[in-house]
């Protein structure tokens, strides 16, 4: 058994720290729940990119600051931003101030808009094609079984890069797929597994 018992007596995935209310809410209410909203997927993909080299907890605790700084991750607005906005973002201590990741988010907004216009299913349809439109339910019994990336993540990563997205390597993309519920990777001993499977 890899799940941890929390204060409410419920077993949760072993990666979730006990006693962190914000992280617990994220695990219980968002992680692994199928997300089909294009804007929500766009935000999540960029936040996963910002996480590279950091912990998700760091991003989660800064998420509201990110939303404010990036204008609610509105792709149409972000696609118009240039050097002045990038300078403002790099001076904002409420987010992760990484020049490459900030620039990538603005490039990703432009790529998002192109996909919305050119793909029959828009950005959401493009992403969900990675799992043929249906969540892939995995039955991992321990954290050691959960992969860092999969063939589907590698394929989606390549397709996103070809469409102009940045910070979308296969490990980042698989983390995105887990968070957005394209794959359901709650371990079988986590109480959320039965609810989502």
Domain ranges, ordered by start, for the chain? 19-28+36-196
Which CATH number, 1.10.340.30, 3.30.2310.20, 3.40.50.2300, 2.40.50.140, labels domain 19-28+36-196?
1.10.340.30
- This model's pTM is above 0.95: yes
Q: What is d(CA 154, CA 151) in angstroms, rounded to the nearest whole number? A: 5
Examine the residue annotation and report whether 191 is marked as an active-site residue of this protein: no
pLDDT tens, 6-22?
999 999 999 999 999 99
Judged against a pLDDT cut of 90, whether residue 2 lies above it is answered with no
Write out the E strands in 136-195: 136-137, 183-184
Examine the residue annotation and report whether 48 is marked as an active-site residue of this protein: yes
Mean per-residue pLDDT over the chain, rounded: 97
15, 26, 30, 149: the catalytic one is 26
Exposure class string for 106-132: b at 16+ Cβ within 10 A, else e: bebbebbbebbeeeeeebbebbbbbbe
Q: 35-40: which pairs have CB atoms within 8 A and are 24 or more residues apart? A: 35/179, 35/180, 35/181, 36/124, 36/128, 37/124, 38/112, 38/116, 38/122, 38/123, 38/124, 39/73, 39/74, 39/75, 40/180
15, 30, 56, 191: the catalytic one is 56
DSSP calls for 139-155: --SSGGGS-S--HHHHH
31, 43, 48, 116: the catalytic one is 48
pLDDT tens, 89-102?
999 999 999 999 99
Q: What is d(CA 170, CA 48) in angstroms, rounded to the nearest whole number? A: 11
Identify the pLDDT of residue 1: 60
Examine the residue annotation and report whether 145 is marked as an active-site residue of this protein: no
């Amino acid at each position: 058994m890899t799940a941890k018992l929390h204060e409410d007596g419920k077993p949760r995935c072993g990666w979730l720290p006990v006693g962190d209310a914000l992280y617990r809410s994220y695990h219980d209410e968002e992680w692994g729940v199928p997300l089909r909203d294009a804007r929500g997927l766009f935000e999540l993909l960029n936040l996963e990119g910002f996480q590279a080299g950091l912990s998700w907890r760091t991003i989660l605790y800064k998420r509201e600051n990110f939303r404010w700084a990036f204008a609610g991750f509105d792709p149409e607005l972000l696609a118009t931003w240039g050097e002045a906005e990038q300078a403002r973002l790099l001076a904002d201590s409420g987010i992760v101030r990484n020049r490459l990741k900030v620039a990538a988010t603005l490039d990703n907004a432009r790529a998002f808009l192109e996909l919305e216009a050119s793909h029959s299913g828009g950005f959401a349809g493009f992403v969900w094609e990675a799992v043929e439109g249906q969540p892939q339910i995995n039955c991992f019994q321990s954290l050691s079984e959960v992969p860092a990336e999969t063939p589907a993540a590698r394929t989606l990563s390549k397709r996103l890069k070809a469409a102009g997205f940045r910070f979308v390597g296969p490990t980042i993309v698989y983390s995105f797929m887990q968070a957005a519920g394209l794959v359901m990777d709650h371990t079988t001993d986590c109480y959320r597994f039965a609810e989502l499977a």
